[in-house]
Amino acid sequence: MAEEERPEDMKKGLSHKEKRKEYTFNKLKELGQGIVADVEQKKVPSLKIPSRGTGNIVYDDAKKYYVLGDRYGRRSLGNVKQIRKMGQMVFTANFCKDLVQREKTATIREMYYVSEGWGVEFNTQQESNTVGEDLEVALGTTREDLGLMPEEDGASVYGDLTLLDDDVELNAKKSGKSGYTISPTIDQVEFLDCGVERVLAVETMGMFHRLVQENAYDRFNTLVVGLKGQAARATRRFIKRLNTELNLPVYICNDGDPWGFHIAQVIISGSAKLAHVNYDLATPNAQFIGVTASDIINYDLPTDPLKDIDVLRLKELSKDPRYQTDFWQTEIKKMLKIGKKAEQQSFSKYGLEYIVDTYFPHKLGIEE
């Protein structure tokens, strides 16, 4: 989606959900109208699709996330090798137009089976996934706005945030011990009221439940987000919306290893694979607060030795454009030097409550 043309820029008076729906529906109509216009003008119908190849994925230093470059290709009915793929895109676009119009959703797996009746069915799930990604990049929208859902669950959220989800008003502090589960259709959810000052996202559900049990949501006036490992697209979009729409600062705490570093950085700067939608998913001003290599040393945490694959991954991260700040370079080098890694739960060495009583107040700059 081009930065200068966003759903948020559409006419006032529409809700967030309505803006996203109208934008996506119009984009789908434009695609169909373009094909019809080509036929009426006796031209060979074709679709312009930005390239998602590695050569067209660049790290934008100003935006602080990966974006697509200027290269693009054309999928044309004039090319025998492209006829099937273009047919699949058109059928998929029509399928999505129906979903958007009726405000329904389908999983990516369901679309794979629905294609059996198209005459240009997908041979594999991966082929279906690729066409879905081609469509979102061609239209400048997201598969979620197109009504296509993943099978994965979103993160758990706990704290004083009131939302309107499918016409049901919910408060994430009054939705049971596991809180509110982020909807895959998070852009159809409206934020009604917010009583927190910050967002604290943690990698593991064990740490999420520790924070809830110790009343961290009240003590730190924070919204606690349990990422469940690598954050799903809906989770990253949710965090982005909290940051941009509610102006909430975002803090991330993961395991102290290269994989925890990467989970944080995908939230902050997005991924290369999703360069075409990072404008909606990345939160560049989110802060990784730990567990760092410095924490491992300063808090004398229980550790495990780095495995060869950990060392290799750290060396890869050191060359990644997302990790070129002094902070990241220092922590990566320090972890390689000590040859150790530590889990979030390792703070339990000092007692179950220590991480909430001592570590987080220090990292968040909060005096209780």
Domain residue spans in the chain?
10-149, 156-364
Question: Which CATH class name applies to 10-149?
Answer: mainly alpha
pLDDT in the model for residue 59: 94
Q: In b/e form, how buried is each residue of 128-138, taking b as 16+ CB within 10 angstroms? A: bbebbbbbbbb
* Distance between CA atoms of residues 80 and 92, nearest Å: 19
Give the single-character DSSP code of 183: P
113 catalytic per annotation: yes
Question: CATH for 156-364, among 3.40.1360.10, 2.30.110.10, 1.20.120.160, 3.40.50.1000?
Answer: 3.40.1360.10
Residue 152 has pLDDT above 80, yes or no: no
- Nearest one of 276, 285, 286, 178 to 233, comparing CA atoms: 276
Residue 348's SS3 state is: helix
* Distance between CA atoms of residues 141 and 276, nearest Å: 9
Strand pairing category for 72-76 and 304-305: unpaired
Amino acid at 269: S
* Distance between CA atoms of residues 341 and 175, nearest Å: 35
Contact of 192 with 162, CB cutoff 8 Å: yes
Residues 6+ apart with CB under 8 A from 42: none
Residue 118 has pLDDT above 90, yes or no: no
Per-residue tokens: 17 = 């959900």
Residue 166's pLDDT band (cuts 50, 70, 90): confident
The single residue listed with the structure tokens 């991924």 is 271
Per-residue tokens: 330 = 């220092």
Residue 14's pLDDT band (cuts 50, 70, 90): confident
Compute the mean pLDDT over every residue in the chain, rounded to the nearest whole number: 92
Q: Which residue among 113, 158, 323, 350 is the active-site one? A: 113
* Distance between CA atoms of residues 219 and 200, nearest Å: 12
What is the per-residue pLDDT across 137-146, written as a single tens digit (0 to 9) for each? 999 999 999 9
Residues 6+ apart with CB under 8 A from 310: 257, 258, 341
Residue 12's pLDDT band (cuts 50, 70, 90): low
pLDDT in the model for residue 121: 83
| 297 CA to centre of own chain | 31
What is the per-residue pLDDT across 266-301, written as a single tens digit (0 to 9) for each? 999 999 999 999 999 999 999 999 999 999 999 999
Kindly state the percentage of the chain with pLDDT values over 90.
Answer: 79
What is the per-residue pLDDT across 323-361, written as a single tens digit (0 to 9) for each? 999 999 999 999 999 999 999 999 999 999 999 999 999
pLDDT in the model for residue 4: 44
Measure Cα distances from 308 to 62, 294, 302, 311, 315 in Å.
Answer: 34, 21, 19, 5, 11
Residues 6+ apart with CB under 8 A from 58: 66, 67, 68, 69, 275
Cβ burial of 110 (10 Å; 0-12, 13-18, 19+) is middle
